[in-house]
Amino acid sequence: MLTIDLPSGANRLDRYELGNPIDFQAPSVSLNRIAFAAVHVVSDPTSSADPWTEVAIDWDATMAYRRYLWSHGLAVAEAMDTAQRGMGLNWPQALELIQRSVTEAKSFHGAVVFSGVGTDHLQPSGDLKLEQVEGAYLEQLEAVQQAGSRVILMASRALALIAEDPADYAKVYARVLQQADQPVILHWLGEMFDPALSGYWGSSKTEAAMDACLDVIRSNVEKIDGIKISLLSKDAEIKMRRLLPEGVRMYTGDDFNYAELIAGDEQGYSDALLGIFDAIAPAASAALAHLAQGDLNRFHQILAPTVPLSRHIFCAPTRFYKTGIVFLAWLNGHQSHFTMVGGQESARSTLHLAELFRLADQAGLLLDPDLACSRMKSWLRTRGLN
């Protein structure tokens, strides 16, 4: 058996014995849930760009990872917060990423891409007017639709800053949604993912914010495919899911409780738009296939060990979850290095990433244990641990 000495506390190393990877063989069946993976980008470690102020992307490795997700039957949610949108990736690079992904999808049978539209090229300021936020949304909407992608309408930091009440949100969303050429997915990202979005929809209270969001959906129902909420509250998601107009989907963004929410109950279920699906694609794909066959027990057997891993990756400060996503991609050989846009590889501690390694192994998600162990040992040496 493979073993490795992993840090488990201050100045302490414990011997850890790896298990075996799981062969996540999925039955060939049409899925009965829509499943998006919000996907990361691979930085270019050979670039001379200053990682804190400039963006350098390895486009070949970035597109290869999208093909990997498509091969597992997952749709791609492009240029979202998992791709470090607003935490390293700016709008010009996001648009190039979207354009490249749409082009790549054309050569992959069955590939689906929805892409983030926001206002992140507009510097948030209390002096902004609603018309400027609306204009920023429309500028990105036009560009993304012109690229040939379906749209995920992201939450706006600028709007969160200047909106005085739910009516301001309703005005901006109504005007933007009128210009959508196909129904969009709305994106409600909680403040644990982005503190600048605190009080979105005009209230810091979840119930009041939900009411305001539902009003926007009901007033523009023909323009809305669904809504993704990322509040890490299964109760809030289930409540909202039951209040959605007929035909509007709930896409879970709950990286703590996704298995239960996707399985659903007698009153409905959630589809998925999840950052964790980037990291657990083989397990997610297999579990969803078994669910489509009516095998709920096997669905839960596969996903249950991934939940502790996901909760660890997305633990507070939740916005730094991207570091864990990229670390696991590196351990599994999907990229040749562990560096990130914006230098975000430094955002999690040595102990955090050592525990991620354990949990990924226990979920059967270290797909090549020899490679993962070798890379983990080499990385620990850079942290002064042998």
* Tens digits of residue pLDDT in 328-346: 999 999 999 999 999 999 9
* Tens digits of residue pLDDT in 158-198: 999 999 999 999 999 999 999 999 999 999 999 999 999 99
Residue 379 lies in a domain: no
Residue 12 lies in a domain: no
Contacts (Cβ under 8 Å, ≥6 apart) of 157: 86, 119, 120, 124, 194, 196, 197
Look at the chain and report how many structural domains it folds into: 1
Residue 359 lies in a domain: no
- The number of CA neighbours under 13 Å toward the Cβ of 38 is 26
The pLDDT mean for the chain works out to 96
Residue 184 lies in a domain: yes
Here the CATH number for the domain that contains residue 208 is 3.20.20.70
pLDDT value of residue 379: 97
Contacts (Cβ under 8 Å, ≥6 apart) of 66: 39, 76, 78, 101, 104, 105, 111
Residue 358 lies in a domain: no
Residue 72 lies in a domain: yes
Confidence of residue 27 (pLDDT cuts 50, 70, 90): confident
Residue 150 lies in a domain: yes
Whether the upstream peptide bond of residue 183 has omega within 30° of 0, thus cis, is no
Residue 181 lies in a domain: yes
Domain hosting residue 226, numbered range: 30-281
Averaged pLDDT, 303-323: 98
The answer, yes or no, to whether residue 256 has pLDDT greater than 80, is: yes
Tell me the sheet residues that pair with 274. 37
Within 10 Å of residue 329's Cβ, how many Cβ atoms? 20
Identify the sign of the CA torsion 276, 360, 381, 9. Answer: positive
